[in-house]
A = this chain, B = another copy of it.
Amino acid sequence: MKPTIRDVAKRAGVSISTVSRVMNAPDTVTEDKRLRVLEAIEELKYQPNSFARGLIYRKSYTLGLLIPDIENLYYAGIIRGMQDACIKLGYSLMICNTDRDEGRLLAYIDAFHEKQVDGVIFASDKLIPEYYEKLAGYRIPFVLVSSHSYEYEVPSVEVDDEAGAYDAVKFLIELGHRKIAMIGFNDPNSVAGPPRCRGFARALAEAGLEHNSGNIVFASHRFEHAYDAARELFAKYPDTTAVFCVADEFAMGVISYLKDRSILVPGQVSVVGFDNVRMAGMFIPKLTTIAQPMYEMGYRSVEKLHELLATGRVQVTRERLQHRLIVRESTREK
């Protein structure tokens, strides 16, 4: 039988609350009692378990993560950074896959409350009032990653989506492309979607190519949808010579479509992705892309949540990390 806090109190001849105070706030206990308690803890090899610790400290040392799709390589990179930060800071990470289902997401927040997670990281989706109110109602501190909120004062870590898209399209323009199209996110709750469209339009406008700025076809989050979107795009705008895709997986879908039509990438059409997931460097051709520092984003989001938990506030509410263009094989001069 493992010893309990009650056994420690009995052996030391003190009350349970004194044992708790020795662990929490030792300065409030007389030296004599403190030594007796520490002796008893040692003799009994007492280890407070996490339930008892939760009741004593009101902390579970567990963080909850809400992500839309664990099979998306983008999140795998972020989770890796989160886990390393969790190990450093002494947290466990409970990962929940929402499938972008509102009901499931709300149910997970209930579960997090039940398990008394110390805080939650909310990835990618838009922070709609239902989510905010549920988390705030439970008084669960949380941060956003790959997302942000202007309606609510919630700490966030992300890249500058507008600037990332702008850099991708500017690069295509510098390569000499004039007929540039885009595959965007059709998810109405997408946080990254609208700013990436604006970045696309700004780069075109600066180069006097405004007439292209409506050449956008939208897709859901997966390869197959981008494949279909590419069919639609080239049916509408058959003389497109370069495509900016808002995700690497979209770029792969577009390249697959073009390959099936025997259109060469980058020989005839250049394609740029976004994210720099691990597969981007493994695909044939290897993808030119806008790299997000996924590992660092995951790591920082945990550090930020920890800062919030430890101090009640964060120094920088909306933190932006640096993206960068990586040129590989899927783009070529026009």
Chain A contact residues, CB within 8 Å of chain B: 47, 49-52, 54-55, 60, 62, 70-71, 73, 76-77, 79-80, 83, 87, 92-97, 104, 111, 114-116, 223, 249, 252-253, 255-256, 259, 278-279, 282-284
Contact A284 B284 (CB under 8 A): yes
Are A71 and B278 in contact, CB atoms less than 8 angstroms apart?
Answer: yes
Question: B83 near A97 (CB under 8 angstroms)?
Answer: yes
A255 CA to B80 CA, complexed, in Å: 27
Nearest CB in chain B to that of A226: its residue: B282
Q: Are A51 and B54 in contact (CB under 8 A)?
A: yes
Decide if A116 touches B70 in the complex (CB within 8 Å). no
Known interface pairs A83-B97, A92-B111, A92-B115; A282-B70 also in contact (CB < 8 Å):
no
- Choose among B71, B79, B114, B282 the residue that contacts A223 (Cβ–Cβ < 8 A): B282
List 23 A-B pairs, Cβ < 8 Å.
A47-B114, A49-B116, A50-B114, A50-B116, A51-B51, A60-B115, A70-B76, A71-B76, A71-B77, A79-B97, A83-B96, A83-B97, A87-B104, A92-B96, A93-B94, A93-B96, A94-B95, A223-B278, A223-B282, A249-B282, A253-B282, A256-B282, A283-B284
- Please measure, in the bound complex, the distance between the C-alpha atom of A235 and the C-alpha atom of B112, giving whole angstroms: 55
Contacts A51-B54, A79-B97, A93-B94 known; 5 new A-B pairs at CB < 8 A? A51-B116, A70-B79, A80-B97, A92-B96, A279-B279
- B residues less than 8 Å from A70 (CB atoms): 76, 79-80, 83
Nearest neighbor of A108 in chain B, beta-carbon distance: B92
For residue A249, which residue of chain B has the nearest CB?
B282
Per the bound structure, the CA–CA distance linking A279 and B282 in Å amounts to 10
- Chain B neighbourhood of A256, CB < 8 A: 282, 284
Chain B residues with CB under 8 A of A278: 71, 223
Contacts of A249 in B (CB 8 A): 282
Complex CA distance for A94 and B65, rounded to whole angstroms: 10
A93 with B92: in contact, given A76-B76, A284-B259 (CB under 8 Å)? Answer: no
